[in-house]
Amino acid sequence: MDDDSPKIGSPEYLRLLADCLGRNEEATLGPTDQALCKQALLDRADLIDAGLA
């Protein structure tokens, strides 16, 4: 890993992951990225429930 790579879980990393998922019809995620996506979906659901999204 080079010094320019964003830290896993950072906002920049999450945006890059979202961009990757948006460009590929099929993507294989490792366990860390699966966990990040799961948490993002749960967080989004909580925002919707709270009327904030």
- Per-residue pLDDT of 1-53, as tens digits, reads 456 889 998 999 999 999 999 998 899 999 999 999 999 999 999 999 999 98
> In angstroms, rounded to a whole number, what is the distance separating the alpha carbons of residues 8 and 13?
6
> In angstroms, rounded to a whole number, what is the distance separating the alpha carbons of residues 32 and 24?
19
> In angstroms, rounded to a whole number, what is the distance separating the alpha carbons of residues 2 and 27?
23
Instruction: Work out whether the CA dihedral 34, 21, 7, 9 comes out positive or negative.
Output: negative
pLDDT at 24: 87
